[in-house]
Amino acid sequence: MKRRIVTFVCQAAPPRQNSTAQLLSQLLPEIAQNQANHYRLMTGSGSQIHIDGWQIIQLGGTSDGLWSKILFFLSAFVRLFFRPGNLIVATSNPPFNLWLLGMISRVRRVPVRYWVLDVYPEVLEQTGYLKKNGWFARLWRRLNLFFLKNIQQIMVIGKDMQAHFESMGIAPERLVYQPLWSIIPVQESPNLEIEPPIRLQYSGNLGLLSDLAPLVRAVAARSDYSLEIIGSGSQKPMLLSLVSELGVDNIHFGDFVPIGQLADNLARCQVGVVSLRSGLAGLAVPCKIYGILAVGRPLLALVPRDSEVGDLITAHECGWVVSPDDDQGQLESALDQLARNPHVLQKAAERAHELGQSYSFSQALPGLKAFFEFW
């Protein structure tokens, strides 16, 4: 019997270092275990890519800029118009993929599914990259609503994101909630060995979604804390400049580490840090939280309280949530509480470790496989 063709569209893919590519490096070989289908990955140009069981089609430019995304979108449209296959799945990377799915579904009558990692254009508006409610943002949203009608199923990674799409008029039965997962396995039960200074660590992308400047300023003023910032992105030069200006030696920077070293690296700290700018609840979920939970570290989350991460930490008492605006000294209060009550850290670490078992790859895999299958 002729194998059915499943096409997956995502500009970011292994061996790139961003979180999406790292997650896909685990997921895609497992998806391809189903020998009844032929799997094609349409991804960005650049490094040589090999993923077991997948035909790789590299499109677009080699950069991450706007023109590269536009070229990728146009190239993918032409390919899918002439050879759409039997099922198309796409992420929100690049942001125009929703339009790609909607147009191909309308002209070729192929079932399409949308995996939402970030919500556009709202993310760009909230981070200042696009004028809020400007003409282009309004047009973008109207096109989104038009093309969403053609999407068979929409997979979201946060309950707050699910509520956002329902508020847009998307029927709940077309939405599936599937959280992301830790790319490292759950480690042994944690023993924090709490000694001053308390070691904080942020490990991940330093891009437009995060804002660590308030934490840098707060830690710089204290001798009972240290902060390690690991990763790269558009915010890193600003943070380097800020630390230099403050003239402190308790804040350090490091580069991304290979996945094989990630568990040991995350376990070096006593508290893991997560950041999400104000206004981004329902629009993005920082997946680094799941790796921190896997190594059994409590969380200091500079995130909106009504976000997926804020709700998770509050419900399971595995860390501390501070509003990104912090207009009431919440961050200083949280740091004071941790410094005075080290036993609270150990209890929070144990709850984090228990919760981390719910966000393993094996827990997420059945739902992810179903999203890529015919039904």
Report, as an integer, the average pLDDT of 16-36: 90
Q: Are 228 and 254 in contact (CB under 8 A)?
A: yes
Place of tokens 């599937």: 178
Task: Convert the pLDDT of each residue in 49-94 to its tens digit.
Answer: 889 999 999 997 666 777 888 899 999 999 999 999 999 999 999 9
Task: Convert the pLDDT of each residue in 322-339 to its tens digit.
Answer: 999 876 688 999 999 888
Nearest-10 crossing angle of helices 97-108, 135-148: 40
| The pLDDT of residue 292 | 95
What letter would DSSP give residue 189? P
| The pLDDT of residue 57 | 94
| The pLDDT of residue 1 | 60
Instruction: Specify the pTM.
Output: 0.94
* CA atoms of 152 and 174, how far apart (whole Å): 7
Q: Are 299 and 272 in contact (CB under 8 A)?
A: yes
Mean pLDDT of the chain: 92
Q: For residue 4, which of 120, 88, 116 has the smallest C-alpha distance? A: 88
| The pLDDT of residue 357 | 92
| The pLDDT of residue 63 | 64
Q: Quick check: 41 pLDDT over 70?
A: yes
Q: Are 273 and 248 in contact (CB under 8 A)?
A: no
| The pLDDT of residue 62 | 62
* CA atoms of 261 and 94, how far apart (whole Å): 29
| The pLDDT of residue 328 | 63
- Count CA within 13 A, CB hemisphere, residue 161: 26
Burial status of residue 202 (CB atoms within 10 A of its CB: 0-12, 13-18, 19 or more): buried
* CA atoms of 190 and 233, how far apart (whole Å): 30
* CA atoms of 357 and 290, how far apart (whole Å): 9
* CA atoms of 13 and 19, how far apart (whole Å): 10
Q: Are 352 and 297 in contact (CB under 8 A)?
A: yes
* Residue range(s) occupied by CATH 3.40.50.2000 in the chain: 4-181+362-371, 198-359
What CATH number has the domain spanning 4-181+362-371? 3.40.50.2000
Q: Quick check: 340 pLDDT over 90?
A: no
Report, as an integer, the average pLDDT of 223-241: 93
* CA atoms of 143 and 110, how far apart (whole Å): 19
| The pLDDT of residue 194 | 74
- Domain 198-359 sits in which CATH superfamily? Glycogen Phosphorylase B; (3.40.50.2000)
